[in-house]
Amino acid sequence: MDYFKEYTDLLSQELIPAAGCTEPIALAYASAEAASLLPGKAKSALVRSSVNLIKNAKSVLVPGTDGRHGIPISVAMGLVIAQPESKLEILRASNETYIREAVALVESDAIEVELIPGVVGFYVDLIVRDEEDNEAEIIVKNEHTNVVLKRLNDNVKLNKAPSQNDEIKVDLSFEKIMTYVKSVDLATVSEIIEKQIDLNMQIAEEGLENSWGSNMGKISKEINDQSIMSKCMAYASAGSDARMAGCNMPVVINSGSGNQGISVSVPVIVYAREKKYEHEKLLRALLLSNLLALYQKQSVGRLSAYCGAVTSSCAAVAGIAFLDGQSDQVIAETYVNGATQISGMVCDGAKASCAGKINLALYSAFLGYQQALSKNSYRPGHGIIGQDIDRTIASIGRIAKKGMHDTDLCIVDEMLNND
């Protein structure tokens, strides 16, 4: 099929490792890019960013900072580490010296943060100065490592044309995704998916074995029965517990998010192992869950007021329906049932409660699966449900991207007022 390579390329671009919550890490990466341009040592930074980025980077614990959180420490760590080649794994280089230097910058008020009114999605404009007053500027837009401007003083080293700045757009549809999942040569994608299995299960197990964040995974495991559904919910929540509490273990992300990378994959892996399904079947189920999540997020946008755990969790249970050998219709209805009944869940940034939202979204998705199996699915015209899964995905995307814009601004106002 002509589009098979395009789908494989999309997976290879999107399913990449990141250590820690991706927004603080993206800030650290951008800071490192700026610091590497300067001839001298960075002494200050002005961070100008979109409302969405501030929301997601404000409250989450930053890996490699001894339990600190927030935008200033994220930026300061990037300035002192100054290893942009590490991209979203930059904070794995953290050590006591870097932490001490970064804390000194923060405590001296060398890091300023400004909201850019009217700018939505992923956008950060970072201006850094060194001890000789040289000035470096980096702009990252749409994607977490998509640098569109590099400037040192008056020397513009990179300035991408607008056509190069767009988010990744691929012609996705449910029918094409299903054809790809069933027919693609696994040799072309197995390395990507195997890494997701290994890394994401490691952090899920870490979250259950030790104390992280609000321990939603452990709580879920204790209050629920030992059904496969409960195990899927507990493991996925535990992975988020560890990640949101600053665990420095890398995760293979989806749609620029570690939480979405965890929740789109871990339930499928746990389910396949419990049921002892063949490994090839697991790989294909993960292709489905990942692509379905990417499909929805393509219309929702990277960052919005719509909680990404809904998309990833419902996509995961659609992958579970595939594991069970269900028809394309049941798989589609599973996603639509789960997603439409919990689409009101808002995103109030990355923090401990993300694990609880994953738990709730997975429950909704499993409920949607049982609806589909028992022929009790919601019907087209019920609320926001379209005539098929594609039109429902488009409807959710429009509501999230356009309809919830003011909701996003209101959420950030409340977050800032609650400090």
pLDDT, one tens digit per residue, over 200-228 is 999 999 999 999 989 999 999 888 788 99
Dihedral angle, C-alpha 330, 332, 334, 336, nearest 10 °: -140
On the CB side of 355, CA atoms within 13 Å amount to 29
DSSP character at residue 400: I
Which of 229, 211, 258 lies closest to 88 in space, CA to CA?
258
Question: In whole angstroms, what is the distance from residue 364 CA to residue 101 CA?
Answer: 45
Residue 201 CA to its chain's centroid (Å) = 16
Q: Cα(254)–Cα(232) distance, rounded to whole angstroms?
A: 18
Query: DSSP letter at 282?
Result: H
Contact 263, 279 (CB under 8 A): no
- Let me know if 171 is exposed, middle or buried by CB neighbors in 10 A (0-12, 13-18, 19+): exposed
Closest alpha carbon to 159 in 128, 126, 137, 130: 137
- pTM confidence score: 0.88
Between CA 124 and CA 92 the distance in angstroms is 22
Residue 304 burial (10 A CB sphere; 0-12, 13-18, 19+): buried
Residue whose entry in the numeric block shows the structure tokens 């309809």: 403
159 φ/ψ sector (left φ>0, alpha ψ -120 to 50, else beta)? beta
Q: How far apart are CA 10 and CA 7, in angstroms?
A: 5
Confidence of residue 164 (pLDDT cuts 50, 70, 90): very low
Query: d(Cα 249, Cα 351) in Å, to the nearest integer?
Result: 17
DSSP label of 381: T
Spatial separation of the C-alpha atoms in residues 206 and 211, rounded to whole Å: 9
Where residue 193 falls among pLDDT bands split at 50, 70, 90? very high
pLDDT for residue 168: 62
Which pLDDT band holds residue 167 (cuts at 50, 70, 90)?
low
Q: CB count, 10 Å around CB of 368?
A: 27
Residue 61, token pair as written in the block: 């614990």
The distance from CA 234 to its chain's CA centroid, rounded to whole angstroms, is 19
Span of 14-23, 156-165, 249-258 with lowest mean pLDDT: 156-165
List 152's β-bridge partners, or say none.
Answer: 136, 155
**pLDDT (0 to 100) of residue 55:** 81
Mean pLDDT lowest for which of 238-247, 300-309, 391-400?
Answer: 300-309
Give me the helix-helix angle, 308-323 and 354-373, nearest 10°.
40
Q: Which of 93-97, 120-124, 324-328 has the lowest mean pLDDT?
A: 120-124
- For residue 151, report the phi and psi dihedrals to the nearest 5 degrees: -140, 135
DSSP secondary structure string, 91-159? Answer: GGG--HHHHHHHHHHHHTT-EEEEE-TT--SSEEEEEEEETT--EEEEEEESSTT-EEEEEETTEEEEE
